[in-house]
Structure 1
Amino acid sequence: MSLTTSSSIAHASPEARRAALLAALDVVEGGPEARFERITRIAREAFGVTGSFLNLAGESVLTIKSQQSDQHFGPTIPLQDTFCGRTLGETGPVVVEDATADTRYADMPMVVDDPNVRFYAGVPLRLGDDEVKVGTLCLVDQVPRTLSDDDLALLEELGVWAERELAAGADEDRLRAVLAGLEPAAVALPGYRIAGMSIPHGVVSGDLHEWHRSGDDLVVTLADVMGKGMSAGLLAANIRGALLARGDDRPDVAVAGLEAQITPDLGRAESFATLFHGRLAPATGRLDFTDAGHGLVLHLRVDGSEAVLRSFDLPLGLHPAGLGRTPGSLDLGAGDVLVLVSDGALELWDSTLASLSRLGHLYREAADIEDFLARVRARAAEHDPGDDLTVVVVARDA
């Protein structure tokens, strides 16, 4: 989701705006999270108070997302007549040194009754271009206290940290949604079956797989960017976009153009990527391809034999500029199958190329491609590869 507030939300009431933003963040549900627990724990220890809280405010309900307190509250309480509810109405931090001596707060239920709050200090948490106040980071104590200017500055810095954690969650959700939208669409290719899957090691994957029709032909790609996480995912998305722009070119031409475009990005990120990019002529089964340091393609033949398509070139970002790449081709006969994988597949067994044969055996045991992919997922659940895992199957009917 974008943290830019839409025009319809921007004209809504403050209560509706923060509720809508929190709903889009999808952070209210799910209980405590370590990233917020760390902040409230530091706050309580730094100030020596009896309680520290990170609260998220909906239209009428306050959700206690994280709390460090001997007495447990929530997880939700009515927003009305709370210190945090009133803090949302202020422009800056709120410090109440002794609530019983402050006419604005002396009659509040949490002052008069349990937990008998005397001291409160809270900073609003803001998100989005319009800085919508969505909650508070606050301290409470049962005895009156004062805060120095340095103390208040520290509390505000902790509040900024909390805001960044909330925003980072939104960015991860947005990137995850964007990259999920990059999954290839199903294609109908008479006489062939094409399917695949990708399991990221973290939030997003540094692998990419893509297939599409170009005239009568099928173009298929699998790439693996060094590393994991956000940066690898973004580079993979850039590679995909650059290849799609060259979707009708021969593999060698497409990869040469891709390399010229993407190498500076890889260099700045101190990264590289392996790549298999091929073009299949369905009528003949001939597959022309360029393999940039990938070498993880298994050819399962109908007669029971198999071969691994080895790569003789360096990955994108490491290949010497101006040096041509080695072209490759194979004939996919009736009943033959190609299994393309990222190196996460090797980690399902012993981390060596022998794992490709184990994968081929798993395919031959399966009832169909979907059953095979389900078996791969089950294997990954039992033996965490510790890396992004992608598998693509191109099968020619017998």
Structure 2
Amino acid sequence: MATETASTVQSTTPGQDAARRAALLAALDVVQGGAEERFERITRIAREAFGVSGSFLNLAGDDHLTIKSQQSDKRFDPVIPLDDTFCGRTLASPGPVLVPDALRDERFRDLPMVLQDPNVRFYAGVPLRLGAEHVKVGTLCLIDPQPRTLDDDDVALLQELGIWAERELAAGADEDRLRSVLAGLEPGAVDVPGYQITGLSVPHGVVSGDFHDWHVSDRGLHVTVSDVMGKGMSAGLLAANIRGALLARGAATAPNAFGAVEAQVAPELSRAESFATLFHGVLEPTTGVVEFIDAGHGLVLQLHHDGTETIHRSLDLPLGLHPVGFERTTGTLELEPGDVLIVVSDGALELWDSTLASLSRLGGLYRSSADVETFLGRIRARAASHDPGDDLTVVVVERAA
């Protein structure tokens, strides 16, 4: 059984498609690299959202498939013969492919991964397309050893995740992209007794495509970190609009502020074919409780006073990709005396190995620094010697011991 949506892709021969895929993948320059958090967060959200044994972002070459990101009970070799994969056998399919039970589907029942470990029965995949001709370069897919199916809402969610993956791939291929926010958006100093908040922003280009903000209201300390994707000054205008929309709701709770902002800016982001990951939290100083919304950002590190740490991940989609009618998840955390909250953009991960493990490296750098100014200075120095290839933002909220 296959579910396929309509497509405007022009008919081509398999040889032409293979040549176009090869050209596009060469331009992407991502096939040979290791794990990257911008893709890892997509497959991580996909696996947890659907409750499957594995989720993958695959790139299809001429005769082989490269697994760019995988979250799976069984780790697959990063390069697999294309004909031995669901992806390879569905390259001609224009839309989503749904296989409730591979053993009962003659197209797939002889695949090694069906007949042998991990004994895949269920498969669902959406195509990843790039370029003006919408060439299919890979898939975002799910697998599970138990037969199952997806309803229309599930398929829609998987497609939204696929769109996110396509935009991440396209952003990496566009050498002329300037993800920017307008100049002069740096937040000023605030006075919150018992707390210190500091930050830095290091643009990769002329100006930064990240933005961060903090301000104080009667409700507490409001903290925002966001990364807007797009081209040229349009991304900067979108970022400025998001920041302005948040400031206009400066005294609201995190969920209320975020809900109003999303309703206002999501249509703009959609029209611009852009999206924004965003963390927005409100800290109640007396209790140390932070209520927050995390829209696909997931780069939040809490350093506890006892020497342990917690990475607060996100299961929500970014602004501009979240399906209408799906509720956002509201999270809470507590900053105890001596705790530190560090929120970064993905450029911080590129200072090391571009995975979430880099957050722990960042935490270690903080703990070994005499004070936060020394920590931020060391971040700047590392960015100068290890070009992250991306905009870099770090915000630090410290609670006095």
TM-score, normalised on structure 2?
Answer: 0.54
Quote the residue 2:397 is aligned against.
Answer: 394
Number of the residue aligned with 2:377: 374
Q: Would you say 1:202 and 2:228 are equivalent positions?
A: no
Mapping 1:121-140, distance limit 5 Å: none
Superposition pairs of residues 144-163 of structure 1, within 5 angstroms: none
Compare relative contact order (CA 8 Å, sep 6+) and give the higher one, 1 or 2. 2
**Residue 203 of structure 1 contacts residue 229 of structure 1 at CA under 8 Å; is this kept in 2?**
no
Instruction: Map residues 142-181 of structure 1 onto 2, 5 A cutoff.
Output: 179-181=182-184
Deviations 1:73-121 (A, max 9, x none): xxxxxxxxxxxxxxxxxxxxxxxxxxxxxxxxxxxxxxxxxxxxxxxxx
Q: Which secondary structure state, in structure 1, belongs to the residue aligned with residue 186 of structure 2?
A: coil
1:179 to partner: Cα distance: 3.0
Shift, 1:230, TM fit: 2.3
Q: 1:251 to 1:216 in 2, by over 3 A?
A: closer
Q: Which runs of 5+ in 1 are unaligned?
A: 1-171
From 246, 249, 256, give the equivalent of 1:246: 249
What corresponds to 2:260 in structure 1?
257
- Among 226, 235, 242, the alignment partner of 1:223 is 226
Equivalent AA in structure 2 for residue 303 of structure 1 = D
Matching residue's letter, 1:270: E
Contact 1:300–1:307 under 8 Å retained in 2: yes
Of 188, 195, 200, 1:185 maps to 188
Is residue 350 from structure 1 mapped to residue 358 from structure 2 by the alignment? no
Distance 2:232 2:346 in 1: 16
Contact 1:206–1:229 at 8 Å: present in 2 too? no
- Which SS does the other structure have where 1:317 is aligned? coil
Aligned to 1:152: none
TM alignment of 1:281-300, pairs within 5 A? 281-300=284-303
The DSSP-based 3-state class of the residue aligned with 1:307 is: strand
Residues 219 and 251 in structure 2, CA contact (< 8 A), matched pair in contact too: no
1:375-396 residue CA offsets vs partner (Å, 9 max, x unmatched): 1000100011111110000000
Kept in 1, the 8 Å contact 2:230–2:273? The answer is: no
Q: Quick check: 1:201–1:387 contact (8 Å CA) kept in 2?
A: yes
Task: Please tell me whether residue 339 in structure 1 is matched to residue 348 in structure 2.
Answer: no
RMSD of aligned residue pairs (Cα, Å)? 1.7
Amino acid at match of 1:297: V
Q: In 1, distance between residues paired with 2:196 and 2:263?
A: 33
- Aligned AA for 2:349? L
Counterparts of residues 59-70 of structure 1 (less than 5 Å): none
Cα displacement string for residues 333-382 of structure 1 (whole angstroms, at most 9, x for unaligned residues): 00000000001111000010000001001101111111111110001000
Alpha-carbon distance in structure 2 between the residues aligned to 1:238 and 1:366? 36
Q: AA paired with 1:361? A: G
Counterpart among 308, 313, 320 of residue 310 in structure 1: 313
| Aligned partner letter, 1:191 | G
Match of 1:20 in 2: none
Cα contact 1:295–1:309 (8 A) shared by 2: yes
Shift of 1:203: 1.4
Partner of 2:362: 359
Question: What SS does structure 1 have at the residue aligned with 2:182?
Answer: helix
Post-superposition offset of 1:234: 1.9
Percent of paired sites with the same residue? 70
The letter for the 2-side match of 1:356 is L
Task: Letter of the 1:331 partner, please give it.
Answer: E
CA displacement at 1:216 relative to structure 2: 5.3
Q: CA deviation at 1:180?
A: 3.3
TM-fit CA distance, 1:201: 1.2
CA distance in 1, matches of 2:262, 2:243: 12
| Residues paired across the two proteins, number | 224
Kept in 2: contact 1:202–1:229 (CA 8 A): no
Alignment-mate amino acid for residue 321 of structure 1: V
CA distance in 1, matches of 2:329, 2:235: 26
Alpha-carbon distance between aligned partners in 1 of 2:226 and 2:283, rounded to the nearest angstrom: 17
Quick check: 2:194–2:399 contact (8 Å CA) kept in 1?
yes
Q: How many angstroms apart in 1 are the aligned matches of 2:383 and 2:306? A: 29
